[in-house]
Amino acid sequence: MLQQEFQFSYTFLTHWHQLHAADQHLVDQANVAMQKAYAPYSNFKVGASVLLENSQIICGSNQENVAFPSGLCAERVALNYVGANFPDVAIDTLCVVARGELMPEDHMLSPCGGCRQVMLESENRQVPPIRVILVNQDHRTIILNTVRDLLPFGFGK
């Protein structure tokens, strides 16, 4: 038997205002997207913003459906739009914000397993890794340098 260990590093900030101006703009855009969320069943609104290598920002919000699980998470809305409309443009950064009682405010925000897999697939389609910024409801922020740190044993290649 061989014992293995998985470790990753991330940057932790007590407030997203500590981010550089460009990353703060991504948080602002994700918050705008979050306000457009359709979440009448969970009342948990999520917004995502994606910075492309060409400096364009694409946003998405969660879109629920009474025929669960027909809805989509914000991350998937934004990333699938990028894949469909900008298949040859690399993603630089993905930012995710959320508000609602589905997750306690003192718990760090983390994408669901399905979103992690879609994020990893997006990263696998390009050469550079995708930076991930997760902004908690209480404004604490985590920055990861690659999606792979969120899903080390992802499905696929």
Catalytic residue set: 75
Q: Specify the DSSP element, H or E, that contains 24.
A: helix 21-34
Tokens 């983390």 locate to 110
Helix, strand, coil content of the chain in percent (nearest 5): 30, 25, 50
- Buried b / exposed e over 116-129, threshold 16 CB at 10 Å, is bbbbbbbbeeeeeb
How many CA within 13 A on the CB side of residue 60? Answer: 22
Q: How many CB atoms lie within 10 A of CB 135?
A: 26
